Structures are given as structure tokens and as C-alpha cells.
Structure 1
Amino acid sequence: MGRKWFLIMVFAFLLFSVPRSGFSQESRFSIAYTMGVYQPSLKTLNKILGDPHLAVLQDPNYLLPRNRLLPVEVRDIVSPEITGKTNYGLEVQWEATDKFSLVGTLSLWEGGSVGEDIITTFLRQDLPPVSAPRTATYDLNVKQIWLGWKYNLFMDPDRGRFFVNVGLIGVSIADLTMDSVVRVNSPDLNFASISSTEAQGVAFTSRVGIGGEYFLTSWLSFGVNANYVIGSSAKIKVKRHFRSSFFDIPPPPPETTDLQNVPPTPQNGDTVRWARVQTQNITDLCDPGDKIGGCSRGTGRPLELELNGFQVSGLLRLYF
């Protein structure tokens, strides 16, 4: 909270410290459409996706019904790192003076990862196990809002300019969706089991960068921004969870009867957590875990989404 108020005070100082004569005589309002690339670090999440012994405890793939053929290293599917798609948005700019501009930016980014395999599961007590294709999908959407300023290092009214771009106050909203789809196709039963967990986190972020702009006409320009985003979403909360369609789960084999420390069903408001997990028979042990090493509610570490990364965008700007 202290950092938030400090950034607000800095922004207010910049707003009221620029010379007043420039506001009425030289101010120009513009809107730009932006499109480019952005790749947040996501170090923790990508590490989990690539290690079958690290699990997000609210991941529906990890929460698939236990049996002796589905230890954690099978349920916790290995997926590629989350890669980004196009980053796009809008930028509103007010040229307060010849040197300073006040800027507001909205940007949207999507990234995803898909893993596929074949698992063996039991459908009913009276049926043998079946092999079923599984698809695991991890989608991440990040919305970023920035308030900041630009300082012109070089300005030619007829050709263009080169500037420093600083986002002082930034809010990033991250939406993470984890899906599991298991398709069962057997002589006895045919169906698709779908389960999903949706979670959201909010982070205060900053960014700093440089950019340039070339004036095509008196009302149109093309520019490029290169920024580095700083920030992370420390707590991701479950928004909703849809359970799988496996209703008749057979009892565990006679040699494995302790199921007390199976992770509970995610509830709205739960903090998304992760842990190192190993399976003994069909019982999971978490590190860090509860007092007996189990995976009860609240065990593990909070999942952090690191949003640090480079953001490069092209801009098409309209002046009014």
C-alpha cells in the first residue's frame, strides 16, 4: 500500500509541476492503436508445467480421480512453457508541453500451453481399466492499465521525435484457466470428462522504456515503443471450479486404503498453491505439506505469476 501511494504522489507532482503556459497553447490530444509482442517471465508456472513432480494443487489434471495407475507423475501432465500471442491495445496521450506528455495505456495479452497424452483409468467397479486420450490446456490472459509520462529527448515538429516512456502507476489483472478433457471411448461407455479451474490475480506494476515516432501527416504518425515491465501477481484466487464427470469412482485397491490427505475440491476464494508431490500407493505427499505431510487445504506455496518481461509495440496514432 505504501508503494501505491508513493507512485500516486510522484504522478501528481509530475502533473502539477509542468509549466502552465504549455497547456493552453501547445497541448495536443491523440489516440493510438498498439500491436506488438510481450513475453512475461512466468518462471514459476513454467517450471511447474515442465516438471511432473511439481503440481498446482487446484489444477483439474492433478485432481483427476486417483487409482494405482495414476500416480502424480502421470496425472500432472508435462506441458510446454506458456508462450505469448499478439499484444494489442490503446494509448491515450496529452501533450502538456513541448517536452512532457501524459499517457494512459490499455494493453491485452494472451498466452497458452497445451499438453496431450493417454491415461489409464477405471470407469466402474465392474469394468476393467480403459485407456483414454487427455488434453490439458493452460490459458493466461493479462490486462494491463498504465498511467505515466513521456519525455522528449529529441523533437522535430516536421519529422518526428525520440522519447523516454515511463509507466509510473500500473495495474495488471491476470486470469488463469486450467482445463482437463478426458475422452473415453469404449464398448461400455462413451463420454468426455471435462473439468476446469478459473483463477484471477491483481498486481501493481511499473514499466520503463524508450520509443520513437515518425510524423506521416499533421494528424497521423507511426511509432515504436520498447518497454520493460516490472511486477508480479503474488496471490492468485480461485474464481470458480467445475468438477469432472467421473461420478462412480471405484474404491481403492485393498493394499491402499488411506485417502484422507487427497487435496480437497477447490473453493471460490482459495489461494492457488503449488507443491512438490510424490505418490505412495494412491496417497499423495506434499512438500511443503500439513503436519503429516499430506496435501490438505492450505498446504504448498502460493502461486506467483511473474509478469517481468520485454514489451515491444508498434503504434498508429491519430492527432485531434
Structure 2
Amino acid sequence: MPVFVLILFLLGAAQPAWGASDWNVQLFTGYNDALLKTLNNEKLTQSGPFPPRVGGSPPIEGGPLFGIEVEWRVRRSFSLVALTSFWEGESSARESSEMRFQDFGIVPFRADRTTRVSFNEYALRGRYYLVDEPQRYRLYLELGFFNQVKVTYREDFNYVFEANGQQFLRNVLSRASSRGGYLVTWGIGGDYYITRWAAISMTANYRLGNAVPLYYKSYRHTFLEEDAIEEALGITRLPDDGDPVSYVDRNSRAQFLEMELSGWQAAVGIRIFF
């Protein structure tokens, strides 16, 4: 984030080479179709987190994004763009089963599993204008040469045990984040002026990259000693803060979870010129 702020400061201190300053700001929304192959095909298909187990949940296939960008027209045919954006995906599942609980014997329980991943992106891009009709429309190619992504991962298991007319609530809550992720992006976009100072903007990009392994910031549960789940839990080791988020592959080996961010992104926005 400090690098992003420094870039904006340096751009603001510079003077355009082709005349008066040409700045604009855009608010945009759209859809991000990130691959997330390992998350969907490995992590979400496995049961967890420990007995009482909950089965897999549906894949996360992208989600709506929101963002803001600042563009500086360096040359008549070239501009620099600094932007930040956010998008989030969610997967949830519900399951019912039975297990031994406290001194009630085998009791029924229901469980909700919710997984959320959010992506904060900070980027610097260059744009080359193929067509530029002042105050009418313009068409450009763009390349992202600095795209940093922070990924936040949350997974919650909420249980309700029913015994002798009573309900017992228990949770397993985990939070994790990546220590950095990088993308290369390229695409095409355009603006159509609706007034002298405003335009409708549309862009489509393909993005290539991934986030490095995620690490737990917290992992906790609310099961009590009297719940007597030790036998079901067995020798399973619970993650500590700072441990990497992992999954078990088809060869029964633990692997670090990575987020594949490659995929298409499309957005539409309103651009205000200054």
C-alpha cells in the first residue's frame, strides 16, 4: 500500500509532456472470473475441519468486483493508471449427522460450513490509445505492470447438537491471509462521452498470476472438554497461528493451498474528467 501511495504522489508532482494536465477518476464495477483451481478442486471438496466432520461445499466461480482508478494522461496516446479494487467469493454447505456428545451418547447434529475469500488489488497500468475522438469516444489497449493482490481466507463451521430437548452450539473459526500475490494483466477498453466531463467506460482484461501460500492468523474452536470429542478427534493436530493453510492431495500428502488468480475480468464504470 505505501508503494501505491508513493506512485500516486510522484504522478501528481509530474507535469504532462503534451500540454495542460489531463486527469480523470473512475468508479467501476464488474465481474472477476478467477480460476481458483486448487481451492475448488481440492480444499472445498474435502471434509473438515475434524470430527464432527462436514462434507465438501460448492466451488467459488468468481464474483462481483468494485473499485476506483485515477488516470493521468502522460502523452496524447499514452496514460498511466493507478487503481484499487475488491471482490469476494463465498461457498456454503449444510450437513446433518450423528456422533457421541458429552454423556448423552449418540446425538444428532447439524452443521453449516461457510468459506469466504476476498481479494484486495492494487495496480499500476499503462494505456495506449488506438482511437481518440475528443469528447466523443476513445479506444485503448492496456497492460498491468504492477499488480499486487492480498487474499483473505475465512472458513467457519457452526454446529448445533440436540440432546434431551436442549441445543448446544459449537464453532470452529479460522482466518488466514496471503503474504502477497502478483498478476500480469492485459486487455482492451473504451470510453463513450455522455457530457464534456463524464463518460461511460468499459474494459475487459485477462489476468495471469497467483497468490503465494496463505497462513493462519487465527484458528479456534468452542468445543469443551466435557463434550468428549477427543476419541473422535484422535491424533489430529489443529493448526497454530502462523501455520500454512493446507489440504491433502490424492496421494495423501499435505500441500500448501495457493490461489490461482488467472482468468477474465470485465468492468463498466463512470469516468469523471478534470
* Within-5 A mapping of 1:1-320: 21-22=17-18, 25-49=19-43, 51-52=45-46, 61-64=48-51, 75-124=53-102, 126-187=103-164, 189-201=166-178, 202-248=180-226, 249=228, 252=231, 259=234, 262-276=235-249, 287-288=252-253, 300-320=254-274
Matched residue pairs, number?
261
Instruction: Give 1:206 deviation, angstroms.
Output: 1.7
Answer whether contact 2:77 2:129 (CA < 8 A) is retained: yes
Q: Which runs of 4+ in 1 moved over 4 A?
A: none
SS of equivalent residue, structure 1 residue 252? helix
Counterparts of 2:142 and 2:27, CA distance in 1? 16
Answer whether contact 1:49 1:80 (CA < 8 A) is retained: no
Q: Which runs of 5+ in 1 are unaligned?
A: 1-10, 56-60, 66-74, 278-285, 289-299
Counterparts of 2:230 and 2:212, CA distance in 1? 38
Counterparts of 1:211 and 1:250, CA distance in 2? 56
TM-score for the superposition, normalised by structure 1: 0.76
Instruction: Give 1:314 deviation, angstroms.
Output: 0.2
* Pair 176,187 (structure 1): closer, same or farther in 2 beyond 3 Å: same
Answer whether contact 2:172 2:220 (CA < 8 A) is retained: yes
* Code of the aligned partner of 1:36: G
Identity of paired residues, percent? Answer: 25
Answer whether contact 1:40 1:310 (CA < 8 A) is retained: yes
Counterparts of 2:209 and 2:110, CA distance in 1? 38
* Code of the aligned partner of 2:199: S
Counterparts of 2:184 and 2:142, CA distance in 1? 11
Instruction: Give 1:97 deviation, angstroms.
Output: 1.2
* Code of the aligned partner of 1:190: Q
SS of equivalent residue, structure 1 residue 287? coil
Counterparts of 2:116 and 2:45, CA distance in 1? 18
CA radius of gyration, larger in: 1
SS of equivalent residue, structure 1 residue 82? coil
Instruction: Give 1:46 deviation, angstroms.
Output: 0.3
Answer whether contact 1:120 1:130 (CA < 8 A) is retained: yes
SS of equivalent residue, structure 1 residue 134? strand
Counterparts of 2:229 and 2:198, CA distance in 1? 67
Counterparts of 1:184 and 1:252, CA distance in 2? 17
TM-score for the superposition, normalised by structure 2: 0.88
Instruction: Give 1:287 deviation, angstroms.
Output: 1.6
Answer whether contact 2:16 2:73 (CA < 8 A) is retained: no
